Amino acid sequence: MMEIYSDFRDLGVIDYKEAWDLQEQLFDEIVSLKLHNRENPDNKEKIVNHLLFCEHPHVFTLGRSGQESNLLIPESLLKQIDAKFYKINRGGDITYHGPGQIVGYPILDLESLGLGIKDYIHLLEEAIITTLAEYGVSASRLDGATGVWLDSDKAGKARKICAIGVRASRFVSMHGFALNINTDLSYFRHINPCGFIDKGVTSLQQELGAKQDMEAIKILLHQKLAEAFKLT
């Protein structure tokens, strides 16, 4: 069995399109190597998995299956709130990215890791749930929805703290998750988050009542993700 390598990068604050282009580049590299290794079984090259962390300036993104009507303001007003809007190639509906939010993009060869897409999403959610538990926040999944939620079993109180939207092709993943830490939640008023009209959003800052140390959470979250996916 071929050894699996991984690379972690914190990109800091980066424009959404720039990060998307980087994802596409890394995705194409992995797919090309997989094809090469399949055609050259005696001369295989190592495949490097990637985990990218970043923050984005204000941006709304709409997945392939999303409804544009879930953006509740006309595109002409986006400039007034200093935000951009992109239609992208991940699954899911509309979401928001912005400062104070940890966005994670795992570009992984799921085939080498022995994972199907459902298992992959489950492990993403689990890493975030265990990270939040370290801060005394009890999070869980919500039936029929991806992401990580608080009070998912309480009618009218369910609120999302982490959105997940991924794409997988040739068993290689891209896009990922957005974990609200010190996020300005007012931007979610401009959308129906993930297409829901009856559920709220929250952040770690809102739940704990104080601004949180982003760098400390990144270190912990990186550790939890590495453990979940057995990355070295």
The H-assigned helical ranges of the chain are 16-39, 110-113, 117-133, 204-208, 214-229
**CA-closest candidate to residue 56, choices 105, 13, 4:** 13
Which is the catalytic residue, given 52, 129, 179, 194?
194
What's residue 26's pLDDT?
97
- Catalogue all structural domains in the chain, each as residue range(s) with its CATH number: 5-229 (3.30.930.10)
Catalytic residue flag (residue 54): no
Give residue 196's pLDDT.
59
pLDDT of residue 198: 58
3-state SS assignment for residue 63: coil
pLDDT at 1 (0 to 100): 43
Mean pLDDT by 10 residues, the chain (232 residues): 74 97 96 93 91 97 87 89 92 90 97 94 97 97 91 87 93 96 95 68 97 98 94 78
pLDDT value of residue 152: 86
Question: Nearest to residue 160, comparing CAs of 135, 192, 190?
Answer: 192
- pTM of the complete model: 0.93
